[in-house]
Amino acid sequence: MNAVSRLGLHVLAWAASIPVLNVGLTALERHHVLLVSGPIAAVAAAALLLWVALIYWRCVPHRARGVERGVYLLVFAVSVLSAGVAALFVAFWATVALFGL
């Protein structure tokens, strides 16, 4: 498996985890098992950010020149933000479909 497909699969897995995490936390909150408040949401967001940083560190090629590394970071950030926005859209509609407004 080459680096580009490995990077794509990691980003896809990261994006797919956002709706799963959202639906899971919403289910726990709706069944009064866990109150999803600021600290719980912050831990979930920190875990997702840490996962993205790990994906970048492990999957993006290391180049000697800083300019190439900066371009890789920019492309990675735009790609991850796009995937994250799409995942949030899916998470919202999945939550609405399962639990209503």
* Confidence band for 64, pLDDT divided at 50, 70 and 90: low
Query: Between residues 64 and 47, which one has the greater pLDDT?
Result: 47
Q: What is the pLDDT of residue 37?
A: 81
Residues near 21 by Cβ (< 8 Å), separated by ≥ 6? 44, 48, 91
Query: For residue range 13-34, what is the model confidence (pLDDT) as tens digits?
Result: 999 999 999 999 999 888 888 8
Tokens at 10, concatenated: 């990691």
Task: Tell me how far apart the terminal alpha carbons of the chain are, to the nearest angstrom.
Answer: 42
Q: What is the pLDDT of residue 66?
A: 81
Q: What is the pLDDT of residue 85?
A: 95
Asked if the model's pLDDT at residue 69 lies above 90, the reply is no
